[in-house]
Structures are given as C-alpha cells and as structure tokens.
Amino acid sequence: MLRDRSVILVVVIAAAVGTGLGRGAGAVLESHLATAAPGGVVLLAAAAPSPAAAPTASGAPSASGPSHDEGEPDDATSDNPYEEALPAHPVASRLLVPARDGMLKLPGGHFTMGSASPKAPGNERPVRATSVAPYWIDRTEVTVSAYRACVQAGSCSPPARASAACTYDGDDPDLPISCVHWADADAYCHFVGKRLPSEREWEFAARGALQVPFPWGAGASCTDAVTLINEQSGRSCGRRPARVGSHPGGASIFGVQDLSGNVEEWTADWYVELLGPGPAPRAGAAHVLRGGGWLSTPSQSRTTSRNWGSAVEAGANVGFRCARDDDPTPTPTPAPAPAP
C-alpha cells in the first residue's frame, strides 16, 4: 500500500512540473507589439484539420469527400494526425482598431498566409507571403434578426430548412443565421451595402501578422469557441451555435469575434485546392468556407483551416459575416474665395 501511494505521489509531482514547463513555453511575447497585456494567452500544441475533399472538375464533390449532412456527428475513433509544433509567440494583447456600426476597421498589411506545419493538410500549404489593403469587417457573424430584416424587405430568400438545427425559425434572434446558400449570403451583404470578405481578408482578421492556430492564440476550449469538444468526440460544446459575441475570450488580436467555431463562414473566393501567390481564381465549382462551426472539430476551426461548399450547400453549420472596402479619404472642400 505504501509503495502504491509513493507511485501516485510521483505521478502527481511529474504532472505539476510538466504543467509549469508547458505554461513557461508560452511566455515569449510578439516583439512587434507595443504593449503586453497581463492576460497574454499561453500557447499549447494545436492541431490541423483533416483536409476537405476538393470539388471535381465537373463541380461535384469527389467520392471521397466529406458528407455535409448536418445531423449529429458520429464519435471520432482515431487520434488527430495533424499535430502542429508549438508556436513561439502567443497573442500578447489585442490591438485597438476603429469601430463603427458593428464593424471593425482593420489596418491591412503584409502577413503570412497558410500553415507551416509539414503535417497540415495540403490545401493549407505552402505558407505564402501576401497582403491586404485596409478594410472593414463585421465584429460578429450576421444574426437571425439582421437576416430577417433582409427577407422582410424582399431582398433575401428565407433559408431552406435543411435541418431542425437551422436558426432562422428559432426563438433567438441573436443567434448567427445558418443554413444559408452562398448566393443568399452574397445577397444579404449587398443589401446592407457590404460584400463577403475575401479569403485573405478573413485569415488576416483571424490572426493578423501572428502565426497562431486559433484567433486567441492556442489551445482549443469550449470557453473560447463552440465546436465539437475534441477531435475524438461527436458531441458539440453546445446544442446549437451560441449567440454572436458571447465568447469574447475567443476574439482575434483585432477583437473580431466568433472566427473559430459557431458557424463556418462563406467568403467571396472560389475554392482551389492549392493557393499560389497570385490573385484568387475567377471561377470554380465551389466557394471557400473558413473558421469551422459548432459541428466541426477544433482542428477544422483553426485560423488556417480551409473548407469548401457548393452552390447547394446550406447546412446548419454554415453562416457568414460581411466586409467592405475602407472609406476613401474625403477630399476637403476648398473654402470659398473672399469677395473682392
């Protein structure tokens, strides 16, 4: 009995030491940030998603592609094979950016897009240097209430009730709208004088110049995002998506919320399996979905995770947010010349 207690004591001490070392590994802060907040995020090992099957040349998903049936997912039975190395720099603090009418103005700039992990799915590699111009993006996903206003105005179609989990006919107007086709999302954004974000804009909003696996840093948790609880479980963090903005700890460095989980989000871009440094494709068989949703695994909800949806995709895991170009600098009106 004494020997058994000694073994237990050794295990407890080892676990405590390991936890301390793990926390210490995330103590280095991003050097270009002006200040470090006391609540800087400690980074843990993060996982990359299982690659989504690309649409075929004819526009139909390949036979090996994942099902987009939004029923209750089956429990996973294997370990996640896409373990990423520990990022060196956590998100130290959030940057203050201009806010207006539910949108945030992001400064744009150069950043690294994609995953550097050799184990990441092929559609996230290789990493590539790219840039975006300053732009505005919704702080949260579009809500049921906002989308209903577009339907009532005759500019949007009611979402197809593809699942009992679709949010449009529910009793909570602050949930993110789901079960929307790409064309419906595009129509709504134009209705409110905006557009869907490009894939580059979406990823920049999620991580800026930081190479972090999740908008908040690392370490998947139901505290920060609503996804499946882990890689091996078919249970979600919630019975449905959460009200938009209800997980402030999961916001990105710019304060953009719900970019991981809740509902995966349509972007303006056509999907291609491998992205190069050039412009986005002008045509395709499917559009890009980013961020994962409440029925996605944590590894499918990272800042670099890429998925796709065809024109008929409208499941309970799918929603969107809008963006718009930066306001042009107004030209000052010259003062009238004094009367002679």
Lookup: tokens for 178: 């789901």
Return d(Cα 305, Cα 188) in angstroms, integer. 25
Phi, psi for residue 71 in degrees, rounded to 5: -75, 180
CATH top-level class for 79-326?
alpha beta
What pLDDT does 46 receive?
33
Token pair of 31 as six digits: 């050097």
DSSP three-state, residue 162: coil
Which of 241, 239, 225, 150 minimizes the C-alpha distance to 194?
A: 150
Indicate the length of the chain as a whole number. Answer: 340
Give the start-to-end residue ranges of the domains of the chain. 79-326
What secondary structure letter does DSSP report for 83?
A: B
pLDDT at 339: 57
- Per-residue pLDDT of 56-99, as tens digits, reads 433 333 333 333 333 333 333 333 334 454 444 455 578 999 99
DSSP 8-state assignment for residue 172: -
198 and 267 Cβ atoms separated by less than 8 Å = yes
Determine the residue type at 62. Answer: S
**pLDDT tens figures, 4-23:** 444 333 333 333 333 333 33
For the residues 36-55, what does the mean pLDDT come to?
35
The token pair that represents 206 in the structure block = 């999620």
Reduced to 3 states (helix: H, G, I; strand: E, B; else coil), residue 47 is strand
Is the confidence at residue 317, as pLDDT, over 90?
yes
Mean pLDDT of the chain: 77
Query: How far is residue 74's CA from residue 2's CA, in Å, rounded to a whole number?
Result: 44
How far, rounded to the nearest angstrom, does the alpha carbon of residue 246 sit from its chain's CA centroid?
15
Range picked from 79-93, 166-180, 325-339 for highest mean pLDDT: 166-180
183-210 mean pLDDT = 97
| Residue with tokens 């079960």, as numbered in its chain | 179
Check residue 249 and report its DSSP letter.
Answer: G
Whether 314 shows a pLDDT value over 90: the answer reads yes
Q: What pairs with residue 318 in β-bridges?
A: 264
- Please give the pLDDT value at position 338: 53
pTM, two decimal places: 0.73
Least confident residue range of 38-42, 108-112, 136-140: 38-42
Q: Note the pLDDT tens digit of each residue in 224-235.
A: 999 999 999 899
